[in-house]
Structure 1
Amino acid sequence: MGKKKSTKNVAAPAPVPAASEVTPLLKVPSPVAQHEERGIEMQEKNPLVKPIIPEVNPSVTHVDDVIPIRQELWELSSMAVQLSLRQMVRQAMTITDSAFQGHIGTKQLAGVALAAMWMGVPSTFIQFSIQAINTLCSQAYGAGNNKLVGIWLQTAIVFAVLGSIPVIIWYFCVGHLISITMEDQETVKYGSQFAMVMALGLIPQYIYGACSTYFAAQGIIMPATFCSALTMVLNVVLNRFYIYGAFGWKGMGFIGSPLATVTSTCLQLFFFLMYTVVLKGYHKPYWGGWSRECLNKERVKVFLSLAIPMGASSVVDWASATVAGAFSGFLGPNIAASQSVLGGVFGVANSAVSGFSTSTQIRMSRYLGKGNAGAAKRVLFLGASIVFAGAIIMLCAVLTLRNHIFQIWSNDPVIIGMCTDVLLVFVICILVAFVRFLLTAVMNALSLAHINLWANNFASWIIYVPFSYLLPITWGWGLDGFWWADTYGEMFKALILLWGVSRVDWDIAAKRAQAAAEADDDAAENDAEEEKKRLLAYENEALVGRTPESYRTPSAMTPSTPYHTPSARRRARSSARSVTYTPDLAKARSKTPNPRSQA
């Protein structure tokens, strides 16, 4: 009778549709069923033990799927603020450089703006490629193979140093590239000088990117945050000192600005390694010393299989912006300088709001992976509301304080007047761009990044680039034409993505995401852990120094290929796992102690 009674007590009062639907798809017991089975077993062994049956909403499959809306809003906002602050730190360094250059002269600002666009094509390829070790180091860290974490760092450093050689050569040729569209030789000279000096900071910049990613994979990211903030302050001081001098020294003028940036980059790497390696020794558990194993053929093959697609995607994004931006050179230094100012204003606004798009993607991915479509849609609603509200506030501030904001970059009344004249189309473009950024994040969370890729490439090369020549140059629209071209491209992307979202069957998308998450052998032990990993990856990416982005327009601001979505991470883990099945590396792995197995 004891057994019959216990069975009756634990019988579910009502069926759990979501769990029963998902279980056949996954071919594994649902979480609710697992709780019930454990409760039955415990009471069968001891009738006095009352089974613990979680109270669940029949429409969800996990106990913690639905949290109060205030808590959801708090967690979403907290995550977004972390991401936005790191974006703003990096953007502040860009503002510092362009602001000092703009106050030196308009031609200096125009030359640097054109140079930065050409510099970005190869530089971002290396920067984004290095980010591949985020997945590889996380994989090794999660598997308890501590030595392998350090080996992947070595592979990335070797790749960064060797990859910097062709990039340096490219930087020395930037002056010739600028002269293709810019006839003013003084502007070309400033751009060429800027690129040549910036080439000196490439290797420390890339090594810092690799090291910060290495520590971020271990959950250590605050040192990078503090070092970036310190570097930002140093960059202001050094720009002022190198350009204008002090204590009787007259300074170096324009060339002092890129020298200050290079010095700041080197000091950033120095401070970061001094704290993380020398003082704290965070690397010790995950560093087995320099080894030729980092050059193993199969290991390099796996690294490149992840790195090259990531880098190639960034080149596609940057190339369209570079071609369209280079057209501004046909209209003279004033147009190029004005584009730089407006791009900088957009960079500030975007860094303040972009964190909410990314946090929306992360939270949606978490709920979809748990099979909860309703919670994912609620996050989308909250994220969209915050993004739109933030965008309106930011744009109202720009409209109200436009003269003061533009004067941060230039005191030239001609430049300020040109920027003011295009403010209407600028605001329209930014609003459409923010909508597109949010929709891009949604499609990434739904593992529909192929639609992002198609829409981004089509709009960039078929709409944005041709219109950037036709409207301002052929049809004589001037500066307005560049921003109308960008607006048309952003509208097309937003409409395609909106169409894609409207056709999504959220229940099916949730089931697929849940099936994929459960099928992943290397998934995190709980959803919060997986969410934390993605957040750390985005935070680190926001802090890694790259070619200044204030010279980019919205069309190229969001990469077409996501790097931290669940599907992308699973593909990367699948590629990383292939290393262990090669004969040479299997032998190497057998010699590497696994702390978890020893424990």
Structure 2
Amino acid sequence: MATPSKQSGTLDRVASMTSRVFSSSLPSTSPIVEESLARDIAEDESDAAISEDEESESSTLRPSTSAPGGGAYSFVGSYRRPSFAGAGNRATVLPQIVRDHDRLSKEERKQALEEERSLLRDNNIIPPKHPQAEDSGRKRSLFGNYLSIPGGDRKVSRDEEAASGSDGVVDVASEVSPLLGDPNLPYGGHDDPDSINAKWEEAVAAGKIHTTWQREAKVIARYSAPLMVTFLLQYSLTVASIFTVGHIGTIELGAVSLASMSANITGYAIYQGLATSLDTLCAQAYGSGRKKLVGLQMQRMVVFLWTISIPIAVIWILAENILMVIVPEPAVARLAGQYLRVVLLGAPGYAAFEAGKRYVQAQGLFSASLYVLLICAPFNAFLNWLFVWKFKWGFIGAPIAVAITDNLLPLGLFVYVRFCSKTGMSCWNGFTRKAWQNWGPMVKLALPGVVMIEAEVLAFEVLTFASSYFGTTVLAAQSVLATLTSMTFQIPFPLSIAGSTRVANLIGATLADAARVSTRVTFTAAFFVGIMNVTLLSTLKDYIPRLFTSDPEVVRVVSAILPLCAAFQLFDALAANCNGILRGLGRQEVGGYVQLFCYYVIAMPISFGTAFGLGWGLWGLWTGVAIALGLVAVIEFTYLYRTDWQRSVDEARARNQEGGL
């Protein structure tokens, strides 16, 4: 950590003000974040005070520790946002997950309060939103044993019904009976934040909060559905080129795959890894009440990524010569180098979009990226068709379409923030020379993200390099297989993010039993998603390859390998969700070590040994991947099965108590 500046008094006050925010970060990065944010605040006199609007918004926010020394905890204090920017085509080892800042946006606070209100209502601690008719109450009791919260509903006798004197709401003294309040008001009048707060603390302390499979299934579906659409749309930017170019010829299909892989390893994964530091810096700046610093951090990252683009540009310009040495097919290397030189024009736009996504996500504007992709992804597919086939530009049309789309992405994000969002511009600080300063903490915080994303992406992308030694047909087949497996992965991975978010929130609220229920629901959903992918790839193995290429030999090779790829889809889905639950428990390092071990110590030796040593070719390359994914799923599932969930709750309580000091 850097030496404190001369303005020690100012920095001490800043550190004191933001101690709760910093204490919730990972231990290794907390000093870095504190140093960066404290320095920015000390230098920025215009951010010396929080606005009155922010004060009024935050006045109703309940702290994570409502009762120091072991009191109850709220969803509001432990709320984690159900989103994460995609980290590469196959990267599941997210570099870090930080607990969200204490100062939530109005929409996030409303969502967290609704979670508490809904659980209180379903556990019969407050009345329903609308008074129930007598007959509907009786109908509910018929199915109470199957659909209700355990312990929340009980059989009501006729005497109790008569004693209630209200629409099916029983006024019988018991530890689970709600205070009736005014039956004509929603939730019996127990709908204000203070009332919900008091009842939530009492209910959690008494162990009355339970959940059901039905409830958790709805929550997981609500969290994961928009993420799945976003991930599929973002990945379609790559798929569109492969779809379009694949029908030109085998060499072109192999070249676009090799170029995409090279761009991912040497460029896009670096941008994504470096931008992960904004997940911490922007959130912490927003949480400290210094909104303008969110814009400064984003602007600083854009300038930094554009600077990094200079050495990336050199590599991409010289890619043809580099690939000529590595790849045994000169024609493929030449086209791949041409692709990279053209797509380089879109690299600055892609970098700005990666930083811009974190800027809007720090403010809770998760729909911004989705709306932009809903427009840009179909437009990208149209441009590919227009340039490659309509204008007859051939192979070169694909990278031109990608470059245009990459530059449209940040432009679309700007339009959304400027004209479609009421609060997006509140964090913009204007263009400033400070974007060229204080890069050190940002780089330190970003390096682990780059290393982990690069490590996992490289483990999969190296298969494309290896397949090039078996000829252009096998390379083209590998392109199709890699695209298909990455596409199917865009469903279970968002599901794992949703599961991670839900488990983290429940653990933060000290609801260990509810977290276990949510975990079972997530694994069940992952199982069915895996089975769906297995069925899809295995039954359509002779038809799916024809969507990518018209070459009969490539279709034959892909059809032969697809059953193997289909077989590990179940393991892939379960492994992704194991990693999600581990992130929710705050033990993501376990998933990182397990996956990297299985990829490099297990998968790589088996893949190269069977492919080249035993002469299995492409089948051998994918055999190692299948075995590694199976091992990842088994090891991580066993770890989770033996995990002490109460320990995770105690750790969350300890973090919250430290944050409240």
The two structures share one fold, judged by TM-score above 0.5: yes
Match of residue 538 from structure 1 = none
Match of residue 588 from structure 2 = 449
- One-letter code aligned to 1:111: A
1:137 and 2:137 aligned: no
1:27 and 2:69 aligned: yes
1:466 Cα deviation from its structure 2 partner: 2.1
Corresponding residue to 2:357 among 212, 235, 242? 212
Gaps of 5+ in 2: 1-63, 75-189
Cα 1:465–1:325, aligned 2, differ >3 Å: closer, same or farther?
A: farther
Structure 1 contact 360–441 (Cα < 8 Å) conserved: yes
- One-letter code aligned to 1:259: I
Match of residue 635 from structure 2 = 496
Whole-angstrom distance in 2 between the partners of 1:62 and 1:169 = 63
- One-letter code aligned to 1:204: G
1:521 Cα deviation from its structure 2 partner: 4.9
Aligned residue runs from structure 1 range 383-532, under 5 A:
383-521=522-660
Match of residue 272 from structure 2 = 127
Aligned residue runs from structure 1 range 225-244, under 5 A:
225-244=370-389
Question: How many residue pairs were aligned?
Answer: 478
- One-letter code aligned to 2:464: G
Structure 2 contact 236–377 (Cα < 8 Å) conserved: yes
Match of residue 83 from structure 1 = 227
Cα 1:64–1:394, aligned 2, differ >3 Å: closer, same or farther?
A: farther
Structure 1 contact 331–473 (Cα < 8 Å) conserved: no
Match of residue 471 from structure 2 = 332
Give the TM-score of the pair, scaled to structure 2: 0.68
- One-letter code aligned to 2:392: G
Corresponding residue to 2:394 among 237, 243, 253? 253
1:315 Cα deviation from its structure 2 partner: 1.5
Structure 2 contact 279–358 (Cα < 8 Å) conserved: yes
Whole-angstrom distance in 2 between the partners of 1:423 and 1:279 = 44
Cα 1:198–1:52, aligned 2, differ >3 Å: closer, same or farther?
A: closer
Whole-angstrom distance in 1 between the partners of 2:208 and 2:393 = 60
Deviation sequence 1:48-100 (CA, Å, 0-9, x none): xx998977899954888423432221111111111111111112222211111
Which deviates the most, 283-292 or 301-310?
283-292
1:273 and 2:417 aligned: no
Deviation sequence 1:235-267 (CA, Å, 0-9, x none): 11111111123xxxx431110111011112222
Q: What SS is found at the alignment partner of 2:547? A: coil
Q: What SS is found at the alignment partner of 1:27? A: coil
- One-letter code aligned to 2:338: Q
Structure 1 contact 115–178 (Cα < 8 Å) conserved: no
Structure 2 contact 578–636 (Cα < 8 Å) conserved: yes
Whole-angstrom distance in 2 between the partners of 1:328 and 1:372 = 49
Q: What SS is found at the alignment partner of 1:476? A: coil
Q: What SS is found at the alignment partner of 1:178? A: helix
Corresponding residue to 2:509 among 370, 384, 390? 370
Match of residue 311 from structure 1 = 450
Which deviates the most, 367-376 or 280-289?
280-289
Aligned residue runs from structure 1 range 274-293, under 5 A:
274-277=415-418, 282-293=423-434
Match of residue 320 from structure 2 = 175
1:172 Cα deviation from its structure 2 partner: 2.1
1:202 and 2:347 aligned: yes
Deviation sequence 1:340-359 (CA, Å, 0-9, x none): 11122112221123222211
Structure 1 contact 76–360 (Cα < 8 Å) conserved: yes
Deviation sequence 1:14-66 (CA, Å, 0-9, x none): xxxxxxxx99x96254469xxxxxxxxxxxxxxxxx99897789995488842
Cα 1:424–1:285, aligned 2, differ >3 Å: closer, same or farther?
A: closer
1:321 Cα deviation from its structure 2 partner: 2.5
Corresponding residue to 1:92 among 236, 240, 245? 236
Aligned residue runs from structure 1 range 138-157, under 5 A:
138-157=283-302
- One-letter code aligned to 1:109: L
Aligned structure 1 segments of 4 or more residues deviating by more than 4 angstroms: 50-60, 62-65, 278-283
Give the TM-score of the pair, scaled to structure 1: 0.74
Structure 2 contact 241–256 (Cα < 8 Å) conserved: no
Match of residue 193 from structure 1 = 338
Whole-angstrom distance in 2 between the partners of 1:132 and 1:263 = 27
- One-letter code aligned to 2:300: T
Q: What SS is found at the alignment partner of 1:290? A: coil
Match of residue 260 from structure 2 = 116
- One-letter code aligned to 1:460: Y
Cα 1:103–1:52, aligned 2, differ >3 Å: closer, same or farther?
A: closer
Match of residue 405 from structure 2 = 264
- One-letter code aligned to 1:150: G
Structure 2 contact 259–336 (Cα < 8 Å) conserved: yes
Q: What SS is found at the alignment partner of 2:226? A: helix
Q: What SS is found at the alignment partner of 1:422? A: helix
Structure 2 contact 512–646 (Cα < 8 Å) conserved: yes
Whole-angstrom distance in 2 between the partners of 1:439 and 1:66 = 23
Whole-angstrom distance in 2 between the partners of 1:257 and 1:163 = 25
- One-letter code aligned to 1:398: L
Structure 1 contact 197–259 (Cα < 8 Å) conserved: yes
Deviation sequence 1:279-316 (CA, Å, 0-9, x none): 7675432223222223333xx22212221211121121
Cα 1:467–1:181, aligned 2, differ >3 Å: closer, same or farther?
A: farther
Deviation sequence 1:170-203 (CA, Å, 0-9, x none): 2123334433443221111111111111111100
Match of residue 575 from structure 1 = none
Deviation sequence 1:368-387 (CA, Å, 0-9, x none): 11222211111111011111
Cα 1:347–1:322, aligned 2, differ >3 Å: closer, same or farther?
A: closer
Cα 1:256–1:55, aligned 2, differ >3 Å: closer, same or farther?
A: closer
Which deviates the most, 513-522 or 453-462?
513-522
Match of residue 40 from structure 2 = none
Whole-angstrom distance in 2 between the partners of 1:492 and 1:356 = 20
Whole-angstrom distance in 2 between the partners of 1:279 and 1:288 = 18
Deviation sequence 1:425-469 (CA, Å, 0-9, x none): 212222222221111112222222222222122222222222222
1:391 Cα deviation from its structure 2 partner: 1.7
Whole-angstrom distance in 1 between the partners of 2:420 and 2:515 = 43
1:344 and 2:483 aligned: yes
Whole-angstrom distance in 2 between the partners of 1:196 and 1:399 = 37
Deviation sequence 1:485-510 (CA, Å, 0-9, x none): 10122123223213322331121122
Cα 1:385–1:289, aligned 2, differ >3 Å: closer, same or farther?
A: same
Which deviates the most, 303-312 or 81-90?
303-312
Whole-angstrom distance in 2 between the partners of 1:271 and 1:224 = 9
Structure 2 contact 237–380 (Cα < 8 Å) conserved: yes
Deviation sequence 1:121-154 (CA, Å, 0-9, x none): 2321122211322321222222221221221112
Cα 1:279–1:55, aligned 2, differ >3 Å: closer, same or farther?
A: closer
- One-letter code aligned to 1:386: A
Structure 1 contact 175–191 (Cα < 8 Å) conserved: yes
Whole-angstrom distance in 2 between the partners of 1:134 and 1:451 = 21
Structure 2 contact 69–657 (Cα < 8 Å) conserved: no
Corresponding residue to 1:163 among 305, 308, 313? 308
Cα 1:490–1:374, aligned 2, differ >3 Å: closer, same or farther?
A: same
Whole-angstrom distance in 1 between the partners of 2:195 and 2:294 = 41
